[in-house]
Amino acid sequence: PFEFPPGSPFEDMFKEFGTPQKRKASALGSGFIIDEKGIVVTNNHVIQGAEDIFVRVNGNKEYEATIIGADPLSDIAVLQIKSNDKFISVKFGDSNKIMIGEWSIAIGNPFGLFSLTDHPTVTVGVVSALGMNLSSINDRYYMNMIQTDASINQGNSGGPLVNSIGEMIGMNTIIYTAQGSSGNVGVGFAIPINKV
Protein backbone atom coordinates (compact mmCIF):
# COMPACT_ATOMS: atom_id res chain seq x y z
CA PRO A 1 0.00 0.00 0.00
CA PHE A 2 1.05 3.58 -0.70
CA GLU A 3 1.48 5.99 2.20
CA PHE A 4 1.04 9.73 1.62
CA PRO A 5 1.74 12.50 4.11
CA PRO A 6 -1.33 14.10 5.68
CA GLY A 7 -2.74 16.87 3.49
CA SER A 8 -1.22 15.45 0.27
CA PRO A 9 -3.44 15.98 -2.82
CA PHE A 10 -3.07 12.26 -3.58
CA GLU A 11 -4.51 11.25 -0.20
CA ASP A 12 -8.09 12.13 -1.22
CA MET A 13 -7.74 10.48 -4.61
CA PHE A 14 -6.65 7.15 -3.09
CA LYS A 15 -9.37 7.33 -0.44
CA GLU A 16 -11.89 7.66 -3.27
CA PHE A 17 -10.52 4.91 -5.51
CA GLY A 18 -8.88 2.64 -2.96
CA THR A 19 -5.26 1.84 -2.35
CA PRO A 20 -3.58 -0.16 -5.11
CA GLN A 21 -2.81 -3.71 -4.00
CA LYS A 22 -0.68 -6.47 -5.46
CA ARG A 23 -2.56 -9.57 -6.46
CA LYS A 24 -1.60 -12.90 -7.88
CA ALA A 25 -3.43 -14.47 -10.76
CA SER A 26 -3.89 -18.19 -11.03
CA ALA A 27 -4.57 -20.53 -13.91
CA LEU A 28 -5.94 -24.03 -13.96
CA GLY A 29 -5.40 -27.00 -16.19
CA SER A 30 -5.04 -30.75 -16.24
CA GLY A 31 -2.17 -33.10 -16.94
CA PHE A 32 -1.05 -36.70 -16.68
CA ILE A 33 1.79 -38.58 -15.02
CA ILE A 34 4.07 -40.52 -17.39
CA ASP A 35 6.65 -41.85 -14.94
CA GLU A 36 6.59 -43.17 -11.36
CA LYS A 37 9.14 -40.47 -10.43
CA GLY A 38 6.46 -37.82 -10.97
CA ILE A 39 7.06 -36.57 -14.49
CA VAL A 40 3.91 -34.80 -15.68
CA VAL A 41 2.92 -33.70 -19.18
CA THR A 42 0.47 -30.87 -19.83
CA ASN A 43 -0.14 -28.09 -22.34
CA ASN A 44 2.41 -25.29 -22.43
CA HIS A 45 -0.39 -22.71 -22.31
CA VAL A 46 -1.42 -24.12 -18.90
CA ILE A 47 1.95 -23.28 -17.29
CA GLN A 48 3.25 -20.47 -19.50
CA GLY A 49 4.45 -17.51 -17.44
CA ALA A 50 3.86 -19.30 -14.14
CA GLU A 51 6.00 -18.40 -11.13
CA ASP A 52 4.75 -21.30 -9.01
CA ILE A 53 3.28 -24.59 -10.21
CA PHE A 54 1.34 -27.00 -8.04
CA VAL A 55 0.13 -30.43 -9.10
CA ARG A 56 -2.82 -32.02 -7.35
CA VAL A 57 -2.81 -35.82 -7.46
CA ASN A 58 -5.96 -37.83 -6.78
CA GLY A 59 -7.75 -34.61 -5.95
CA ASN A 60 -6.39 -34.29 -2.42
CA LYS A 61 -2.58 -34.33 -2.36
CA GLU A 62 -0.77 -31.26 -3.68
CA TYR A 63 2.87 -31.07 -4.74
CA GLU A 64 5.10 -28.31 -6.01
CA ALA A 65 6.49 -28.89 -9.51
CA THR A 66 9.14 -27.42 -11.77
CA ILE A 67 9.25 -27.10 -15.55
CA ILE A 68 11.84 -29.40 -17.11
CA GLY A 69 10.82 -28.78 -20.73
CA ALA A 70 8.39 -26.62 -22.67
CA ASP A 71 7.64 -26.07 -26.34
CA PRO A 72 5.28 -23.15 -27.01
CA LEU A 73 4.89 -24.02 -30.71
CA SER A 74 3.61 -27.54 -30.13
CA ASP A 75 1.93 -26.43 -26.86
CA ILE A 76 3.51 -29.23 -24.81
CA ALA A 77 5.22 -28.89 -21.41
CA VAL A 78 6.93 -31.40 -19.13
CA LEU A 79 7.00 -30.95 -15.35
CA GLN A 80 8.74 -32.69 -12.47
CA ILE A 81 6.89 -33.12 -9.18
CA LYS A 82 9.16 -32.29 -6.22
CA SER A 83 8.68 -35.43 -4.17
CA ASN A 84 10.23 -38.82 -3.46
CA ASP A 85 6.79 -40.46 -3.61
CA LYS A 86 6.15 -43.06 -6.31
CA PHE A 87 3.32 -42.26 -8.72
CA ILE A 88 1.13 -44.32 -11.04
CA SER A 89 1.58 -43.42 -14.69
CA VAL A 90 -0.95 -43.50 -17.50
CA LYS A 91 -1.22 -46.43 -19.89
CA PHE A 92 -0.32 -45.36 -23.42
CA GLY A 93 -2.23 -46.33 -26.52
CA ASP A 94 -1.25 -45.84 -30.16
CA SER A 95 -2.82 -42.78 -31.77
CA ASN A 96 -1.92 -44.15 -35.22
CA LYS A 97 -4.41 -46.98 -34.66
CA ILE A 98 -7.48 -45.00 -33.57
CA MET A 99 -10.49 -44.87 -35.86
CA ILE A 100 -13.21 -42.32 -36.50
CA GLY A 101 -16.29 -43.32 -34.53
CA GLU A 102 -14.52 -45.11 -31.69
CA TRP A 103 -15.25 -44.06 -28.11
CA SER A 104 -13.17 -41.28 -26.59
CA ILE A 105 -13.15 -40.23 -22.96
CA ALA A 106 -11.88 -36.80 -21.86
CA ILE A 107 -10.55 -36.67 -18.31
CA GLY A 108 -9.78 -33.44 -16.51
CA ASN A 109 -10.72 -30.66 -14.18
CA PRO A 110 -13.12 -28.34 -16.03
CA PHE A 111 -13.56 -24.97 -14.32
CA GLY A 112 -11.79 -26.35 -11.23
CA LEU A 113 -14.78 -28.51 -10.29
CA PHE A 114 -14.12 -31.64 -8.26
CA SER A 115 -16.68 -34.18 -7.19
CA LEU A 116 -17.31 -35.02 -3.53
CA THR A 117 -14.72 -37.78 -3.90
CA ASP A 118 -12.10 -35.27 -5.15
CA HIS A 119 -11.63 -37.01 -8.48
CA PRO A 120 -11.45 -35.40 -11.92
CA THR A 121 -14.47 -35.45 -14.20
CA VAL A 122 -14.99 -37.69 -17.20
CA THR A 123 -16.94 -36.94 -20.38
CA VAL A 124 -17.62 -39.42 -23.15
CA GLY A 125 -17.88 -39.00 -26.90
CA VAL A 126 -16.42 -40.39 -30.07
CA VAL A 127 -13.44 -39.61 -32.24
CA SER A 128 -15.08 -37.27 -34.74
CA ALA A 129 -12.17 -36.74 -37.15
CA LEU A 130 -8.45 -37.37 -37.51
CA GLY A 131 -5.65 -35.30 -39.02
CA MET A 132 -7.28 -31.94 -38.32
CA ASN A 133 -5.06 -28.91 -38.98
CA LEU A 134 -5.92 -25.67 -37.22
CA SER A 135 -4.40 -22.39 -38.34
CA SER A 136 -2.23 -20.30 -36.04
CA ILE A 137 -3.97 -19.69 -32.72
CA ASN A 138 -2.01 -17.46 -30.33
CA ASP A 139 1.18 -18.21 -32.30
CA ARG A 140 0.67 -21.96 -31.97
CA TYR A 141 0.09 -24.31 -34.88
CA TYR A 142 -2.07 -27.33 -34.21
CA MET A 143 -1.41 -29.97 -36.84
CA ASN A 144 -2.76 -33.50 -37.22
CA MET A 145 -5.14 -33.14 -34.26
CA ILE A 146 -7.77 -35.61 -33.05
CA GLN A 147 -11.25 -34.10 -33.07
CA THR A 148 -13.71 -35.37 -30.46
CA ASP A 149 -17.18 -34.48 -29.29
CA ALA A 150 -16.37 -35.55 -25.71
CA SER A 151 -17.00 -32.37 -23.74
CA ILE A 152 -13.78 -30.38 -23.21
CA ASN A 153 -13.91 -27.08 -21.33
CA GLN A 154 -11.57 -24.60 -19.66
CA GLY A 155 -9.49 -26.53 -17.14
CA ASN A 156 -9.45 -29.70 -19.28
CA SER A 157 -6.39 -28.49 -21.22
CA GLY A 158 -3.49 -30.88 -20.81
CA GLY A 159 -5.64 -33.76 -19.60
CA PRO A 160 -5.81 -37.20 -21.16
CA LEU A 161 -8.10 -38.33 -23.94
CA VAL A 162 -8.41 -42.10 -23.55
CA ASN A 163 -10.03 -44.92 -25.51
CA SER A 164 -12.61 -47.37 -24.19
CA ILE A 165 -9.97 -49.60 -22.56
CA GLY A 166 -8.29 -46.74 -20.71
CA GLU A 167 -5.31 -46.25 -23.01
CA MET A 168 -4.26 -42.66 -23.54
CA ILE A 169 -4.65 -41.66 -27.19
CA GLY A 170 -4.32 -37.87 -26.94
CA MET A 171 -3.90 -34.77 -24.81
CA ASN A 172 -6.94 -32.45 -24.63
CA THR A 173 -5.77 -29.07 -25.88
CA ILE A 174 -8.26 -26.71 -27.49
CA ILE A 175 -11.94 -26.32 -28.31
CA TYR A 176 -13.82 -24.61 -31.07
CA THR A 177 -16.47 -22.22 -29.80
CA ALA A 178 -19.13 -20.12 -31.40
CA GLN A 179 -18.15 -16.46 -31.75
CA GLY A 180 -18.74 -14.56 -28.51
CA SER A 181 -18.86 -17.76 -26.46
CA SER A 182 -16.26 -19.73 -24.54
CA GLY A 183 -18.36 -22.81 -23.85
CA ASN A 184 -18.23 -26.26 -25.37
CA VAL A 185 -20.15 -26.84 -28.58
CA GLY A 186 -18.98 -30.42 -29.12
CA VAL A 187 -15.86 -29.69 -31.17
CA GLY A 188 -12.72 -30.37 -29.16
CA PHE A 189 -9.19 -31.19 -30.23
CA ALA A 190 -6.43 -33.32 -28.73
CA ILE A 191 -2.77 -33.66 -29.64
CA PRO A 192 -2.18 -37.33 -30.65
CA ILE A 193 -0.29 -39.20 -27.93
CA ASN A 194 2.34 -40.43 -30.40
CA LYS A 195 3.26 -36.79 -31.04
CA VAL A 196 3.28 -35.99 -27.32
Cα angle 29-107-62, degrees, rounded to a multiple of 5: 50
Considering the candidates 30, 104, 151, 157, report the single residue annotated as catalytic. Answer: 157
Largest CA distance in the chain: 74
Taking the C-alpha atoms of residue 193 and residue 196, their distance in angstroms, rounded to an integer, is 5
**Annotated catalytic, 157?**
yes
**Annotated catalytic, 75?**
yes
Considering the candidates 30, 75, 95, 104, report the single residue annotated as catalytic. Answer: 75
Q: Which DSSP state fits 191?
A: E
Helix (H, G, I), strand (E, B) or coil at 7: coil
Taking the C-alpha atoms of residue 29 and residue 48, their distance in angstroms, rounded to an integer, is 11
CA-derived radius of gyration, the chain: 20
Considering the candidates 45, 95, 104, 149, report the single residue annotated as catalytic. Answer: 45
Bridging pattern class, strands 61-71 and 168-175:
unpaired
Burial annotation 121-148 (CB, 10 A radius, 16+ → b, else e):
bebebebbeeebeeeeeeebebeebbbb
Determine phi and psi for 146, rounding to 5 degrees: -90, 130
- Residues with a catalytic annotation lie at 45, 75, 157
